[in-house]
Amino acid sequence: AVMASAATFRPGTLASPWRGGDGVGGAGARGRRFRGTGGARPACRKSATTSTDVSVSSHPLTRPEIDALVDVTGLDALCEMARAVRASGPNPTVVTFSPKVFIPLTRACRDRCGYCAFAKDPTDGKPTGNDERDEPHDNENDQSSRNSSTPSAIYMSVTDVLAVAERGRAAGCAECLFTLGDRPEARYIEAANELKALGFASTVEYVAHCCAMVLEHTGLLPHVNAGVLTFDELKLIRTVSVSQGLMLESASERLVTEKGAAHWKCDTKKPDVRLRVMEHAGELNIPFTSGIMVGIGETRAERVDALFALKKIHDDGGHFLQEILVQSFRAKKHTAMEHHPEPGLDELVWTCAVARLVFGSDVCIQSPPNLTPEADDTKGDSGDGSSSSARRNGWRALLNAGVSCWGGISPGITLDFVSPEMPWPTLDELACVTQQGGFSLTPRLAVQPRFVLGKKNYEQWIDPNIAPFVRVLSDAEGFARSAGWCPGRDESVIGGSSREENFLGTTEGTTDGSVEYGDTENVSSPEKKPPPSWRAARLPRAKDLVTVNGSFSGFTGIRTGAPLVLPDEPPYGSPTGVRTQELTQERDALDSAINRLDARGCFLKNLAERGDQSLFQKLPPFDRLYENGTYQQRGGMCADLSGTASRNVTSVHHSGGSIPGDEAFAERAEDVRAAMQILSSRGNHFDKACHVADNQRKQQVGDVVTWCVNRNINYTNVCTLSCIFCAFSKGQKVDAEGFDLRGDAYLLSLDEVSRRVREAWNRGATEVCMQGGIHPEFDGETYLSLLKAAKRGAPEMHVHAFSPLEVRHGASTYKGGVSVSAYLSLLKQAGLGSLPGTAAEILSNDVRHELCPDKLDTKAWLDVVSSAHDVGIPTTSTMMFGHVDDDTIETRAAHLVAIRDAHLLSMCRKAARDGAGDGTTERRRDDSGLSQDSSGYDESDEEPLQQNYAYKGGFTEFVPLPFVHFEAPAFRNGVTKKGPTLRECLLVHAAARLVLGPAGLQNIQASWVKMGPEYAGLLLNAGCNDLGGTLMNESITRAAGAQFGQEMGPDELTSIVKNENRTPAMRTTLYKPAKRERLGVAKNAAPLLEIKPSR
């Protein structure tokens, strides 16, 4: 699906099975309800129990601490503590769910739990959970006379599995949940025989095969709940799944040994057996889900025993448990526990709060919303497929108790086959309740973010076979992308829906088109074939499940200028009894981050403009930009990672004296965390970040949006470097799957360079941008010759040429090698007007080591551009983002702060050279080399393009460059994401305005080549004031697969600007008004001549 525009994205407008209407198991599908024990209460009713001090540290509590606490603490106070602990953890204002498809691979099981209606005897199809539980069978010796020719298959076929998985993919799922009975072949000879006929020795082998097929044909990430597995079986499943799970359920042995108890005679439910499986999972570094049941006959003390048993194995196993599921028992018909009382809401809430206190802030606490007890069992569903208000109060109570995830949800796609009488809530309603609590409802993967943030986590937790699939589905923070838009072109136009229709056909027997399994026969027909390889087809991923703000909640609209939804109370009305602490904290954190960056930027800019040398003590060296580790280890932004939330911004060092190096680095680290706070914004906070960035843009540069007429001249695509992202440079022409990678190698002649420059001038250009690969035959003389050729073509043309990498290469090869500064001076004398700040990628050596190992490192890149500034050559600055694992919001934030600091230091050196304050600044500025822009500059009667703008040294602009993945070798090799999400693109541009603007770097450019015209216009409402150039002959981005880039004329650029109610203006490279004559020529330009590059 095409990402809807911001103007039309509103809650409830997505027509999909995730929203309202009759879903699977809708109104009237519920089983019997019981009032249960413990009663029910409003979400935050004041407890009569004695309360205690609610201040509690974020670290997990010990068993003695928990016992002492629960003895004297009322439920509301306990929840307040749990909520405070949760707020100190990663992503404190995000509540997640996993959009999943449920695959009940087999319902046969060797166990017969008293509450289970999922497991069925394959001989008669009846639930096995009843009091007539006989001894387990040994199928090797059992020659029973059961009818093994039953028409019902015991296992779903691969075709059936793929049919359901593909339907889930098309509906926006990211997870394929395999839930099945525990090793049925150990009890039923029929199961063993069917496996043999399928060609497998065990259920586990068959599960692994089905997981591999789902990965290959749909790209969904399998999560496997296959019961009690051996070490080797866990290891096998790890190679085809992203995570696994096994509920502990209870640590009580008596539930296994006492006749009639929930787990009577179910040996695999013995606590030590299940904990042993988890111990192996920890040894194998498997992200693992476990949890407990509430109300199956255990006591509260036994429940706490179970939580601490899980906590111990979690700590001993290297923190491998990704989430703790707290699941309420629901009585089911035709089971032994059909009449067993269900726990009340208080009991579930109490257990969730205790689980949060036991596990602390960093482990996800999950409770399924469809199993939440209602406060008033007399109110069923409302009749329209939505949940009752009483049930919503239960969800509010769970959020209030520290729950951070709703688990897997699949409304309208598949049933909850374990509790089919309990329908999934619609995401509209769940999002409403979640947002009322001050959270953004955010889709996640089947693996929690902390396992996939950064390369080290990938290497430790994710099998190399699975990692490419995870990258395709994840965003920069480890959540699900859940949106089809990618930079460069719209994926949804490729292939359409015919693949889904041809494979799936029509589904009979359900009113909503979902696949419904009571039994697994009669779902597929013999003529159906598995879909083609997803990796080979490279078709669009799925429908959009999130708005541009990164959450399922509504989008208030930065395009339309609609008022922000940031009231004193949360949106969607007044939530009964729900605390808004998290909303307030996050808003305070965002406000503090923005205020800090504004205060710091203005203060440091004042020092730089005065040439105050104390600035060099306040800005530490660039060999240490950020502290790598904590953010990735914890899995997201935390309150204690963002000191900006509590730090008084007025305490920032505003004195004129120097500060020690460690303290200077600490200040920079705070700036990085402040930028991270902006980059992590979702929901209403996303809206606010964009809104404030747009306001700052208006204050700093006004409403004019600029652009220039320019031509790209990429003189060669031959390159000796090994940048894994580059689809432009010459190399292997096809990949292993036969896809074309790039065209033939070429090298332009100097005469062709002159011709292209002359043609560009005749078409109204004021600038040519010249860059190319590091050709093995190039040396320092080559670049000087290229400059001379350009000037021969059009002496008045501004030449914007040579990346910092090319400059260093030229310096090292010019007459045996000269300094970078000396070589830059030679280039300036030969006609170089400015330097493109490309090849920056991400200024993190961790990123650069993987992305471009033989390019300049971070410090070297900054040294080259700083040297250019010092010899009077202005440069631009860039950041390419959305690619490898270590490209996180932390490295992006550090990049922005590094650009800011380099800009300030260059400004300071220039001010000192110009004699700031002695009246000679303007005269010396004219001697800095900027006069070379005068060719296209109209000094006569043009108004300034921007209010209060004058170039004072450093960078002229910052250009975020979203990674275009389509033809990139790194993406084809499975080591990058699919570029950044639309939300990430907007936030990077907004953060650039908020970080760089106060420091004097006021031009933030939107790349229409990367974003496309529509979303480039959207960026003008998120802090941008420039659209770049018309770009005759853009080659590099189009080589990566983008559909944009082959010239956008003045009328088209003007139209983009006017559509956003802004004022368009043509500029020169150095942001001076272009001559009217140039604009007139550009509007009436003849078509470009056909290009025939030299070979």
pLDDT at residue number 743 = 62
pLDDT at residue number 421 = 85
Residue with the larger pLDDT of the pair 584 and 220: 220
Q: How would you classify residue 1002: left for phi > 0, otherwise alpha for psi between -120 and 50, otherwise beta?
A: alpha
Mean pLDDT of 494-505: 32
pLDDT at residue number 695 = 97
| Lowest-pLDDT choice from 620-634, 959-973, 1050-1064 | 620-634
Distance, CA of 966 to CA of 944 (rounded, Å): 40
pLDDT at residue number 17 = 46
Q: Which residues contact 157 (CB under 8 A, 6 or more apart)?
A: 520, 524
Q: Residue 418, CB half-sphere, CA atoms under 13 Å: how many?
A: 21
Q: How confident is the model at residue 465 (pLDDT cuts 50, 70, 90)?
A: very high
Q: pLDDT, tens digit, for every residue of 279-326?
A: 999 999 999 999 999 999 999 999 999 999 999 999 999 999 999 999
Q: Three-state SS for 385?
A: coil
Residue 548 has pLDDT above 60, yes or no: yes
Among 354, 221, 203, 370, which Cα is nearest to 291's?
354
Top mean-pLDDT range of 133-137, 647-651, 868-872? 868-872
In 622-660, alpha helices (H)? 630-634
Strand order in the sheet with 832-834: 710-714, 767-771, 798-801, 832-834
**Backbone phi, then psi, for 731, in 5-degree steps?**
-175, -150
pLDDT at residue number 145 = 31
pLDDT at residue number 527 = 43
Distance, CA of 870 to CA of 1076 (rounded, Å): 32
User: Please, are residues 753 and 786 in contact by the beta-carbon 8 Å criterion?
Assistant: yes
Strand duo 767-771 + 798-801: pairing: parallel
pLDDT at residue number 123 = 76
Q: How confident is the model at residue 372 (pLDDT cuts 50, 70, 90)?
A: very high
Distance, CA of 268 to CA of 276 (rounded, Å): 11
Q: How confident is the model at residue 35 (pLDDT cuts 50, 70, 90)?
A: very low
pLDDT at residue number 627 = 73
pLDDT at residue number 494 = 42
Which percentage of the chain shows pLDDT scores above 90?
A: 60
Residue 380 has pLDDT above 80, yes or no: no
Q: DSSP code of 612? A: -
Tokens of 81: 């503590």
pLDDT at residue number 60 = 82
Q: Residue 135, CB half-sphere, CA atoms under 13 Å: how many?
A: 4
- pTM of the predicted protein model: 0.87
The amino acid occupying position 230 is T
Mean pLDDT of 33-61: 44
Among 1066, 1071, 1075, 1062, which Cα is nearest to 1030's?
1066
Distance, CA of 722 to CA of 853 (rounded, Å): 7
pLDDT at residue number 623 = 80
Residue 134 has pLDDT above 60, yes or no: no
1053: buried, middle or exposed (CB in 10 Å: 19+, 13-18, 0-12)? buried
Residue 68 has pLDDT above 90, yes or no: yes
Residue 1077 has pLDDT above 60, yes or no: yes
pLDDT at residue number 724 = 75
Mean pLDDT of 175-196: 94
In 682-733, alpha helices (H)? 683-701
Q: pLDDT, tens digit, for every residue of 482-495?
A: 888 889 876 544 44
pLDDT at residue number 568 = 36
Q: pLDDT, tens digit, for every residue of 236-289?
A: 999 999 999 999 999 999 999 999 998 899 999 999 999 999 999 999 999 999
Please give the mean pLDDT across all residues of the chain: 81
Residue 413 has pLDDT above 80, yes or no: yes
**Backbone phi, then psi, for 270, in 5-degree steps?**
-65, 135
pLDDT at residue number 647 = 46
pLDDT at residue number 491 = 56
Strand duo 364-366 + 321-328: pairing: parallel
Mean pLDDT of 1012-1041: 83
Token pair 């390019």: residue: 855
Q: How confident is the model at residue 1045 (pLDDT cuts 50, 70, 90)?
A: low
pLDDT at residue number 628 = 67
Mean pLDDT of 27-53: 36
Terminal alpha carbon distance of the chain: 42
Top mean-pLDDT range of 314-318, 564-568, 934-938? 314-318
Distance, CA of 823 to CA of 835 (rounded, Å): 13
Q: How confident is the model at residue 738 (pLDDT cuts 50, 70, 90)?
A: low
| Lowest-pLDDT choice from 255-264, 314-323, 662-671, 943-952 | 943-952
Residue 365 has pLDDT above 50, yes or no: yes
